A and B are shown apart, each in its own frame.
Chain A
Amino acid sequence: GIQVEQSPPDLILQEGANSTLRCNFSDSVNNLQWFHQNPWGQLINLFYIPSGTKQNGRLSATTVATERYSLLYISSSQTTDSGVYFCAVGYGNNRLAFGKGNQVVVIP
């Protein structure tokens, strides 16, 4: 099956710092989404980005489908950005394959 690798697995940031999370995938995909999982387990949609670049406030994402990677940028990080970020790629019908996540901790 399709492999999804996220890096770095763990990241500690000072509040106000910028960071980049990376997602590599092993095959062509028809969908790519970034999620933030809150402490209660809810997956919050950040971006639906099969290709190109999108921005939403302090977050932005870029997917280069031909090179099989996506990047999530967090600028001016805040403590509320803490949590686990998941990259998920779509294949087949509506199947999503998830990476293991990036655990982000933002300290004040």
Chain B
Amino acid sequence: DAGVTQSPTHLIKTRGQHVTLRCSPISGHKSVSWYQQVLGQGPQFIFQYYEKEERGRGNFPDRFSARQFPNYSSELNVNALLLGDSALYLCASSARDSYNEQFFGPGTRLTVL
């Protein structure tokens, strides 16, 4: 079975632009979460979606938004990019809404110039 997939793998943008990152969860998993990992730190929680509803949001500005589609795939959107948004963006999927193991995709490395 395929694991969590993310696209694109790498992305270079300039300040002020907009970016869309995509994630497909493991087949049968209904929960998708997004994390941001800057260099030298552990990942930070951004969003969680379950059954197309937002179930949690981390301490990130409104420039960050996300959605989940009927097939449980998800998009993370970031508007008005800042240099500080340069990071590895990780998507995690899990079978249920809570109290269960999460599995991560390979990530999208975003560089903002």
- Cβ–Cβ < 8 Å partners of A83 in chain B: none
Minimum distance in angstroms from A37 CB to a CB of chain B: 9
Minimum distance in angstroms from B58 CB to a CB of chain A: 7
Q: Which A residue's beta carbon lies closest to that of B47?
A: A95
What DSSP secondary structure best describes chain A's contact surface?
A: strand
- Cβ–Cβ < 8 Å partners of B43 in chain A: 43, 86, 88, 96, 98
Q: Are A41 and B50 in contact (CB under 8 A)?
A: no
Interface size range of chain B in the complex: 20 to 34
Minimum distance in angstroms from A62 CB to a CB of chain B: 17
The yes or no answer to A92 lying at the interface (CB within 8 A) is: yes
What DSSP secondary structure best describes chain B's contact surface?
A: strand
Q: Are B98 and A93 in contact (CB under 8 A)?
A: yes
A selection of 11 A-B contacts at a CB cut-off of 8 Å is A30-B99, A41-B106, A42-B104, A45-B101, A45-B104, A86-B42, A93-B48, A94-B94, A95-B48, A96-B92, A100-B40
Closest 10 CB pairs of A and B: A98-B42, A48-B101, A43-B104, A93-B98, A41-B107, A93-B55, A42-B106, A95-B45, A94-B48, A41-B88
Residues of A with Cβ closer than 8 Å to B?
4, 30-31, 33, 35, 40-43, 45, 48, 86, 88, 90, 92-101
